[in-house]
Structure 1
Amino acid sequence: MTLLAHLALLATILAPLALLATAVTERGRARLPGLLAFAPLPGLAAALLAADAPPLVLYADWLRLSLGLDAPGALLLGVAALLWSAAGAYAGAYLPGATRFAGWWLLTLAGSLGVFIAGDLVTFYFAFALVSLAAYGLVVHDATAQARRAGAIYLALAVLGEVFLLFAFALLAVNIPGESLAISDAVAALPGSPMRDVTILLLLLLLGFGLKAGLVPLHVWLPLAHPAAPMPASAVLSGAIIKAGIIGLIRFLPMEGGIPAWGEVLGLLGFATAFYGVALGITQRNPKTVLAYSSVSQMGVVMAALGFGLAAGDAGTPLAAAQYASHHVLAKGALFLGVGVALATGARRWPWVLAPVLLLVLSFGGLPFTGGALAKEATKAQLGAGLLGWLSALSAAGTTMLMLHFAARLRGGSAPEPEASAPLGLILPFAGMTAAALLLPWWLYPAPVKFWPALWPVLLGALGFLALRAVDARLPRPPEGDVLVFAERAATRLAPPLAARAARIETALRAWPSAGLALLGLAVLLGLTMALAA
């Protein structure tokens, strides 16, 4: 069993890269889009087999790398692999023959799943850099002005995040006793580090993992990238890729023992992010943009749970945060896939789309008997008492209002022909992810849920939505990217417009095989630099 677990761990990263390598032949390139659904399956196998297995350790003369899974990592790896597989099948039908897109997809997939199994600083940094940089190709695939601008902003922020994360890892590495680069050893040494506060607050939270997870004000890439990317790419960007930041916080925050001051800072920033995402989301008209801001809000709740768990020294917080985030992976991925199905469905067939969409929408608020109710229940220990309990309940109400607003905006779009039906290649992945979002949490982390405490925030959110409908026409319409737009306007006096930069970047990266290899090489180079510096 251990051998199978270790093979699955290795294949989680190597299978997508091996599949990408087949693109050197014309036949391999032609087959690539149709095989995307199979590339994440080793990750799913690893989630099932490797959670209780000893880690796989790989030795070199000067380096020791390790792959392994704990309970939070196995949970997030499993649901992320499931989403990547469903979205890969969806992409094959949505973008048939898109070989360049498939190349970027596989690179991003390798990094996205790799962060969940990395057991040391070098492997984690390699995977984190790969998912961050390669996702650029998914954002700019449509080659529109909007996509190029979003891609340029995304890439600039991703590189900035990598630089700060590299610095943070160097600070972690120098405090580890001996020559170890294991994450567990780094976290154990962190509380006694003289650079603890700088490492945690400025580098790991705000400028490293917080940027990837969408912590306000570092969230601006989400509402820009999600609407610009093709539908299957939006699904994995919001559902799986932003979880690289969440697993980073889970892995590197020293929960045992706690750090009250910085835990409370992260918790308050998390709630600020949660409410900010709702406030901005209800002003948007594009359904994909509404979903992007809802992801900002939901990740804010996860970070609030992590923060207050860190403040209390609650060792159960990582698993609770992973459980909450796992529902987001499934449900948000399903909704993005559902947008494509809805837009291809005629008005007379729309009820067949609306029913599952509404179930998913209400599950985000914690509707009883849905997977979302279990997700809310998972963080009760961190966010369920006193003022935090009220903030959590109001956040659930705000989420319900925002997601009903999404459903209303989605209802405005359908295929021109009343009898039109979406292709089966889109319907099946959407149906599968919807069922997984509603049912899978009951198998993964069942718990008793009190009916009325779970229901009243949903009812309050529904009333808020009705009130919102009455004033919707008078609401301001902040642009996608909100605070960044105002910063851009000021920056245009000092620097060339971002759109021009985006065009130059897109031209340089147009040949995807070469660019993919360049990104892979860059990630390796940065990781090796960190290891040597340690």
Structure 2
Amino acid sequence: MTALLATGLLAPLVLLAACLRPAWRPAVPAWLAVAPLPALAAALMALENDPVAVELPWLRLALALDFPGAILLGVSALLWSAGGLYAAAFLKRTTATLRFVVCWLLTLSGSLGVFMADDLVGFYLLFALASLPAYGLIAHDDEPTAWRAGAIYTAFTVLSEAFLLMGFVLLAAGDPTGSLRIGDVMAALPQSPWLNGAVTLTAIGFVLKIGLVPVHGWMPLAYAAAPVPAAAVLSGAGVKAGVIGFLRFLPFDSAMPVAGELLAVLGFFSAFYGVAIGLLQSRPASVLAYSSISQMGVIAAVLGMGLAAGNDSAPIAGSLYAAHHVLAKGALFLAIGVIAMTTAPRTAPTLFLATLVALGLGGLPLTGGALAKLAIKEPLGNGLAGTLANLSAAATTLLMVHFLVRLARSAAHEPPTVIPQAFLLSWRLVALAALFVPWLLYLASSGTVQAVLAPGALWDAAWPVVIGAVLAPAWVRWGSHMPRIPAGDVMGTIERVFRSSYAIGVAMERADHMLRRWPAAACSLVAIAVVLSAATI
């Protein structure tokens, strides 16, 4: 197990080292699909055994894998592998191959490693590695829109890591033993004098990473600008670095009602906001991005309710829901690339499979999404939170029908071309995984087939989908008359406010230029006068 964990972390970096030799560079893209496989093997082994923890003293890292971490590591590795197969074929049609490969491998190593990290320093470094190199994937096209999306993404990423660093400092300060192991600092957290500050700062860092409203603006821009394989892995697996952060650093075994309810409210607001703005998007990629905001909101609501009640089963429920989202969202982004190269008369097979995956996000019975909805039923309960979750499923169904309509309209208009088999294989692999892998995970988490097939469970899964499907024709008919909101919505306002702050910098420069003309004695007298005035007040 130690060898698998170490190999899962280092395999992408070994390929990265191969890029240093010009003679080996052309062969590296073909291995992108292989690099995540050791991590997938480690996840499968961890699912069959008790949680494991290993030390890698030669890397000064501690690695561990529990059930939620193994779930997310396994599905993320599967998506990265299929995405690597797609990316290898994609790179034959584009330029800047080396930059894309380097950023892909760095992001891959961090994205998988963050699920295995067992100490604060290692988690922080791998979290940064999963985030910062993704700029090269988002801005790959070297166009102004891609540069803007990459710059905004980087700004939010740095802000997230700044809050996370402050939170980790308080977490470490709360452990009297001085340990940096995640298990130790979390065990000491309930007695820490820095409890509220540590939880708040850490949670803000992860909220920025998963794109909850109002700090969501980077997500639609980034996913729409990134090439198809990059958008697939970033929307599916990359954003889950924030989810595993919540699972690792929220004290679910000790109830925090105020913090938990605040997170749940923020989550549900994001869930409905993402659907509302997503319905006003015309590009399929933008629709999926707002769907991700909505789905991350549902996960945040589940974890918030678990934190409020001190429910230590919430992490498993949240990880099962997130695992389905990894595969479903990755598959739908890959479908965008396949449909774009398929003429309208030939889109039926792809659209049929995409429909099953898309409606699964709403909880279509017997799909992986229905099992994901069933998994979160217990931590949400049957009260207001449960009702909001069902309404969110109906809204998601409506949004997915809107996505499918926009996807069908994006089919190629030119004469049919030969679609690379790697594109088709990777898309079909992830789509089928989104439908069937959640069944395996649900059963591995002590779920039963009888519970899934019970009439009550089938009805609970079906009625939100029916409501969304009934509303869909009206939206398809009249929704086109609604005003369109640009992807990123709030980012336009934020950018204008930021640009207006440039005037402050100009004024400061002028003041500095004037002060430089004053003699040192005059500056000293002014400083003394200011200090005396402040003391008098």
> Matched residue of 2:216: which SS?
coil
Query: Computing the radius of gyration over CA atoms, which structure comes out larger, 1 or 2?
Result: 2
Give the count of matched residue pairs: 488
Kindly, what percent of the aligned residue pairs are identical? 53
* Pair 1:493 & 2:489 matched: no
Q: How does 1:150-165 map to 2 (within 5 A)?
A: 150-165=149-164
Work out whether residues 33 and 99 of structure 1, in 8 Å CA contact, stay in contact via their aligned partners in 2: no
* Pair 1:205 & 2:203 matched: yes
Correspondent of 1:452 among 443, 453, 459: 459
Correspondent of 1:330 among 327, 330, 353: 327
* Pair 1:76 & 2:72 matched: yes
> Matched residue of 1:482: which SS?
coil
Correspondent of 1:12 among 8, 13, 18: 8
> 1: CA distance between counterparts of 2:485 and 2:203?
26
Name the amino acid aligned to 1:294.
S
1:215-254 alpha-carbon deviations (Å, 9 max, x no partner) = 1111111101001000000001100010000000000000
> 2: CA distance between counterparts of 1:173 and 1:157?
24
1:399-453 alpha-carbon deviations (Å, 9 max, x no partner) = 0011111111111111224544522110000001111000111111134231111
* Pair 1:56 & 2:27 matched: no
> Matched residue of 1:56: which SS?
strand
Query: Equivalent residue for 1:89?
Result: 85
> 2: CA distance between counterparts of 1:55 and 1:465?
48
> 2: CA distance between counterparts of 1:311 and 1:73?
22
Give the gaps of 5 or more residues in structure 1: 497-534
Correspondent of 1:382 among 379, 384, 389: 379
> 1: CA distance between counterparts of 2:497 and 2:51?
53
Work out whether residues 384 and 392 of structure 1, in 8 Å CA contact, stay in contact via their aligned partners in 2: no
What TM-score, normalized by structure 1, do the two folds share? 0.89
> 1: CA distance between counterparts of 2:466 and 2:474?
13
> 1: CA distance between counterparts of 2:52 and 2:279?
47
Query: Equivalent residue for 2:473?
Result: 466
Name the amino acid aligned to 1:88.
G
> 1: CA distance between counterparts of 2:52 and 2:239?
27
Work out whether residues 55 and 68 of structure 1, in 8 Å CA contact, stay in contact via their aligned partners in 2: yes
1:441-473 alpha-carbon deviations (Å, 9 max, x no partner) = 111113423111110100111122222123212
> Matched residue of 1:66: which SS?
strand
Query: Equivalent residue for 1:519?
Result: none
Correspondent of 2:348 among 343, 351, 366: 351
Work out whether residues 344 and 408 of structure 2, in 8 Å CA contact, stay in contact via their aligned partners in 1: no
Name the amino acid aligned to 1:339.
I
**Cα RMSD between the aligned structures?**
1.5
Shift of 1:9: 0.6
Query: Equivalent residue for 1:131?
Result: 130
Shift of 1:347: 1.6
> 2: CA distance between counterparts of 1:65 and 1:494?
42
Query: Equivalent residue for 1:399?
Result: 396
> 1: CA distance between counterparts of 2:117 and 2:187?
17
> 2: CA distance between counterparts of 1:186 and 1:218?
28
Shift of 1:53: 5.3
Correspondent of 1:231 among 228, 232, 236: 228
Correspondent of 1:477 among 462, 470, 484: 484
> Matched residue of 2:61: which SS?
strand
Query: Equivalent residue for 1:104?
Result: 103
Q: Which has the higher contact order (CA 8 A, sep 6+)?
A: 1
> Matched residue of 1:190: which SS?
helix
Work out whether residues 174 and 194 of structure 2, in 8 Å CA contact, stay in contact via their aligned partners in 1: no
Work out whether residues 364 and 370 of structure 2, in 8 Å CA contact, stay in contact via their aligned partners in 1: yes
Name the amino acid aligned to 2:78.
L
> 2: CA distance between counterparts of 1:386 and 1:53?
33
1:180-208 alpha-carbon deviations (Å, 9 max, x no partner) = 1010111112222222222222x1122x1
Q: How does 1:510-525 map to 2 (within 5 A)?
A: none
Name the amino acid aligned to 2:145.
Q
Name the amino acid aligned to 2:138.
V
Work out whether residues 349 and 420 of structure 1, in 8 Å CA contact, stay in contact via their aligned partners in 2: no
- Classify 1:64/1:481 alpha carbon distance in 2 versus 1 (closer, same or farther; 3 Å): same
> 2: CA distance between counterparts of 1:204 and 1:279?
28
Work out whether residues 127 and 241 of structure 2, in 8 Å CA contact, stay in contact via their aligned partners in 1: yes
Query: Equivalent residue for 1:311?
Result: 308
Query: Equivalent residue for 1:430?
Result: 427
Give 4+ residue runs of structure 1 displaced > 3 Å after superposition.
417-421
Q: How does 1:186-205 map to 2 (within 5 A)?
A: 186-201=185-200, 203-205=201-203
1:312-358 alpha-carbon deviations (Å, 9 max, x no partner) = 11111101100000000011100001100000111221101110010
Query: Equivalent residue for 2:36?
Result: 40
Work out whether residues 75 and 326 of structure 2, in 8 Å CA contact, stay in contact via their aligned partners in 1: yes
Work out whether residues 346 and 421 of structure 1, in 8 Å CA contact, stay in contact via their aligned partners in 2: no
Query: Equivalent residue for 1:412?
Result: 409
